[in-house]
Amino acid sequence: MIKTSYAISLLLAKKKKPFSDGNIIKQSLTIFEQNCNDQKVKAMADSISLSRNTVMRRVEEMSTDIISNTEFVTKCRYFSLALDETCDLTGIAQLAVFVRCIDDNFNIFQDLLDLCQPKTTTTGKDIFIKLKDCVQGKNLNWDKCNSVCTDGTPSMMGKTNGAVALV
């Protein structure tokens, strides 16, 4: 049930809810188990720890893990990037930057590196500027970048003004 406690803590953090909301979820589980009349479900629900301090600790542990993943990326031997530019529901352009890297022991890591908004336009130059800011902000060395993969749009792939050409 520790996984469940972490999953609920992550959900609370993603939804920007106070850590104390774990207590409300715990009370909801108590109501559920009372109406369920199943001893196994009751035992499982009782074993989930969602106190304010526990939720806070879980979120801190997960953020520490994210920081260590960032350190892994900066210490990697080589990395590659995948870019995807799209618009969200409100019509604002979003650039998702994914990274895959490998270290000297052939450990591979891949994750979302950043999600950023290009300025008002999504030209190759604007995308490149945001990508450059992202890579420099994460302290990555461009010399270690061995490939850039895109969704194939002209702003990404243009021979002279595409984001990849500018890399």
The H or E element that residue 95 is part of is strand 93-102
Tokens of 16: 């920007």
Answer yes or no: is pLDDT of 160 > 70. Answer: no
Residue 21 CB neighbours (<10 A): 16
Over the stretch 41-85, which tens digit does the pLDDT of each residue have?
Answer: 888 888 899 998 898 888 888 766 655 566 777 778 888 888 887
Distance CA 40, CA 23 (A): 21
**In this predicted model, which residue has the larger pLDDT, 161 or 87?**
87
Answer yes or no: is pLDDT of 114 > 60. Answer: yes
- The pair phi, psi for residue 106, each rounded to 5°, is 65, 30
pTM of this structure? 0.54
For residue 84, the one-letter residue type is D
Proportion of the chain above pLDDT 90, given as a percent = 5
Sequence spans of domains, the chain: 2-70, 75-166
Q: b vs e for 28-60, b when ≥16 Cβ sit within 10 Å of the residue's Cβ?
A: ebeeebeeeeeeeebeebeebbbeeebbbebbe
CATH placement of domain 75-166: 3.30.420
Give 25's Cβ-side CA count (13 Å radius): 20
**Is there a contact between 157 and 164 (Cβ–Cβ < 8 Å)?**
yes
Average pLDDT of the chain, as a whole number: 80
Helix (H, G, I), strand (E, B) or coil at 146: strand
Over the stretch 20-41, which tens digit does the pLDDT of each residue have?
Answer: 899 999 999 989 888 888 888 8
Over the stretch 117-157, which tens digit does the pLDDT of each residue have?
Answer: 777 666 777 778 888 888 888 888 888 888 888 776 655 55
